[in-house]
Amino acid sequence: MKYALVTGGSRGIGRAICLKLAEMNYHVLINYQSNENEALITLHQITEKGHKGELLRFDVSIKESVEAALEGWSNQNPDAIIEVLVNNAGIRKDNLMLMMKTEEWLDVINTNLNGFFYVTKPLLRNMLIRRYGRVINIVSLSGVKGQAGQTNYSAAKAGLIAATKALALEIGKKNITVNAVAPGFVTTDMTKDFNEKEFSAMIPLNRFGLPEEIAEVVGFLASDKASYITGEVINVNGGLYT
């Protein structure tokens, strides 16, 4: 049995990634923080197609929560090794820097950047022992080019991009790849407050992306077909920024 963990896997891009990895015959651990109903929908969509998965609840921004959940799962599944990790969990709390509250800065940094560290570090040991693994970080166009009103989000995602490149250099010799996928505007709950028609006019392909289109790239990076790609950031933004 092959295992994959997707943080923030209950809906949107995370759900699409869970479904894609399940199609690739991974037993998918669907992480969620609070919305169990949406996580159960993701699990149902996996199992109704004859694939396997389970829910794993923890808050990526809290180190103790991550450690307790991963250690508990490992104790219950002593022979199982998570070989694919998708760090997808993320939040936005947009505001102009001058108006930004300290908690808006810290909450976004803790979830989007510190969460990567809290989840990835404990899973690396088994990947290194087995000399195989895939770490895929979902970043953002905002982390690649910056975005007004998103200094917190841009900083977190840019930091994750740099961490992706650094970690890839550290563990490449152990046959573990580390890559990032940077979506542009994608139709999800995170963009529901955007004027899709207005923003689409700025995109060369003239539309928002679909979660499934992001998931396809993640699936490729998780596969053996991408075994010679590491330390890269793949932009999936309809040509908005290249």
Helix (H, G, I), strand (E, B) or coil at 83: strand
Residue-level pLDDT at 188: 83
Residue 8's identity, in one-letter code, is: G
Kindly tell me the burial class for residue 25, based on how many C-beta atoms sit within 10 Å of its own C-beta (0-12, 13-18, 19 or more): exposed
Which segments within 144-212 are labelled E, that is strand? 176-183
Backbone angles phi, psi at 171, to 5 degrees: -120, 10
CA torsion through residues 190, 63, 29, 84, sign: positive
- Cβ-based neighbours of 227, under 8 Å, separated by 6 or more: 177
Residue-level pLDDT at 191: 76
Q: What is the pLDDT of residues 150-205, one digit of tens each?
A: 999 999 999 999 999 999 999 999 999 999 999 999 988 777 777 778 889 899 99
Q: What is the residue extent of each domain of the chain?
A: 2-236
Residue-level pLDDT at 223: 97
pLDDT in tens, the chain (242 residues): 899 999 999 999 999 999 999 999 999 999 999 999 999 999 999 999 999 999 999 999 999 999 999 999 999 999 999 999 999 999 999 999 999 999 999 999 999 999 999 999 999 999 999 999 999 999 999 999 999 999 999 999 999 999 999 999 999 999 999 999 999 999 887 777 777 788 898 999 999 999 999 999 999 999 999 999 999 999 999 999 87
Q: Is 241 a catalytic residue?
A: no
**Which of 104, 115, 170, 166 is CA-nearest to residue 138?**
115
Q: What is the pLDDT of residues 60-73, one digit of tens each?
A: 999 999 999 999 99
Point out the catalytic residue in the list 3, 26, 118, 153: 153
Q: Does the reported pTM lie above 0.85?
A: yes
Let me know if domain 2-236 sits in CATH 3.40.50.80. Answer: no
